[in-house]
Structure 1
Amino acid sequence: MTDPIPPRRVFHPAREEAATAAQAAESPQTVNPAYTLAFQDMDFLLREDLRPVRFQLELLKPELLLEQANIATTFVFYGSARIPEPSKADALIEAAATDHQRLVAERLKAKSKYYDEARELARRVSRIKPDPEGRRQFVVCSGGGPSIMEAANRGACDEGQESIGLNIVLPHEQMPNEYVTPDLSFRFHYFALRKMHFLLRARAVAVFPGGFGTFDEAFELLTLVQTGKVRRMPIMFFGRDYWGRVVNFQALVDEGVIAAADLDLFTFCETADEAWDCVCNYYSGTEEDLGC
């Protein structure tokens, strides 16, 4: 006689319970919203005092799916949603109706080279092999939108590799770019949870020219590293001229609001080659040696 094997569970799965609940006969009690199963009651889940639960769900869903996809670490790309692909840059200039619009379009065209650099860097990153346990390393992760984000996901796609897109619900709808892997395309309501998922698996971050969103993401990362809340990692700012124009980093040191050593938390670079060398040098000789 073989030893008995106990069942894995004694409660019915929630999916079965939900199906059973849907078969309930109609009565004044069963049609009342109070009778609806809590996890099927959208009015209940969207109550103001259920925000902590929604926070937990928004943290948990991507985490479970990324773990299920065997993704151990990511290479994160931050950058503008407005910098055009080089082949489309002239169209912006032609569409300009005023001198100011033309000037802006010309400046965006000058930065369009970073689309190609982001795409090339993503290609390099996507060639990293899984570790001996089969865990996927340095999976490309972007905000999932257009421009620099698209270039990152596109570079991974060029190599036949999957990539992550972390979209956000905005008043002006932003669709995921076509190169994001559908199974790894996530949508967030809370900026805070989206930014947390950018960094939970990040082991390197490339920051391209961008606006408020890029500043928000990049400077939060610098603050977390500066304060020791996040371990140091390669952080590359693309475009020394751009960043030197919009942020006077040395003035922050001169004013005494950051230390001179804080400027060592990141590196300026111009090309995918420079950024990749920075990453390889950082991890050379460590447990995370990439074998570049």
Structure 2
Amino acid sequence: MSIENFENDDERIHDGLKQKNWNEIRSNDSWAIFKIMSEFVNGFESMARIGPCVSIFGSARTKPEDKYYLLAEKIAAKIAKAGYGVITGGGPGIMEAGNKGAHAGGGPSVGLNIELPFEQHFNPFIDKDKNLNFDYFFVRKVMFVKYSQGFVVMPGGFGTLDEMFEAITLIQTKKIAKFPIILVGSEFWTGLIDWIKDVMIGKYFNASPEDMKLIRIVDTEDEVLEVIDNFYKKYNLSPNF
């Protein structure tokens, strides 16, 4: 996008805001509560019937021939065969690979879809009764965290980082119970993790070294399942707890 286009978009946004006064904005916000409630209720009821799942995150831009697409597909199939369902954001790229692998592995294939101005459309590998649509990012994110027994984080963009760091924050602050957070692709993730260790923690002391124990970096589908299985064996749990 050019600077000129960006400025034009910015002007259109401000023009749109000018069309409503503060009372109209407040009134719309009040009515939006009912839409938000309905998304939560529908999400809770639908997800509670599915059972234990592992969420797989990653870029919507990853192509089917990419090595991480193929690896995500293998990971999802292995997870499904181990007794877990697979949750993705429902779109293309890594999300499609996750649902495709879950489908091939005979496990529940769940898609939490959201309307976006670009990239997002639901993929064909989601179980028909497990394709949920959301208007609100924050409702969708609650479903990812509440019904996941683990996060598998493939290479991705800002949305992928957002989901990963929110999960770490919620566990770190004890707002949710611990579950494994597995970063797949050492070549992609090592630079970020080194920065967290050396700069954020080592130099500025803005987090605890203990927090790094929440994260594992792996490179294969076998390692992913090993991390998940070892975590739940440690707490004497199983996929169907």
What's the TM-score, normalizing by structure 1?
A: 0.68
- 1:282 offset after TM fit, Å? 1.0
> Which residue of the partner structure matches residue 211 of structure 2?
262
Quote the residue 1:21 is aligned against: none
Q: 2:36 aligns with which of 55, 73, 90?
A: 55
The residue number in structure 2 matching 1:123 is: 77
SS in 2 for 1:245: helix
Q: SS of the residue aligned with 1:241?
A: helix
* Amino acid corresponding to residue 78 of structure 2 in structure 1: R
Letter of the structure 1 residue corresponding to residue 151 of structure 2: V
Could you list the per-position Cα deviations for residues 210-256 of structure 1 after superposition, in whole angstroms to 9, with x for gaps in the alignment? 11100111100010011111111111011222123345121211120
> Partners in 1 of 2:51 and 2:107 — Cα distance?
15
Percent of aligned pairs with the same residue?
32
Write the mapping of 1:1-292 to structure 2, written as runs, cut at 5 A. 47-67=28-48, 70-86=49-65, 112-129=66-83, 138-172=84-118, 174-246=120-192, 248-250=195-197, 251-254=199-202, 255-289=204-238
How many corresponding residue pairs? 211
Moved over 2 A (4+): 159-162, 244-247
Any conservation in 1 of the 2:180–2:215 contact (CA below 8 Å)? yes
Contact 1:252 1:258 in 2 (8 A): yes
Distance 1:276 1:161 in 2: 15
Q: 8 Å contact 2:81–2:106 — kept in the other structure?
A: no
Instruction: Report the equivalent of 1:91.
Output: none
Cα distance, 1:151 vs structure 2: 0.7
Consecutive unaligned residues of structure 1, counting only runs of 5 or more, are 1-45, 87-111, 130-137
Q: Which runs of 5+ in 2 are unaligned?
A: 1-26
Equivalent residues of 1:116, 1:151 under 8 A apart: yes
Root mean square deviation of aligned Cα:
1.8
C-alpha displacement of 1:174: 1.9
Specify the SS of the correspondent of 2:81: coil
Contact kept, 8 Å, 2:115 with 2:134, in 1: the verdict is: yes
Task: Give 1 or 2: higher helix fraction.
Answer: 2
TM-score for both structures, normalised by structure 2:
0.82
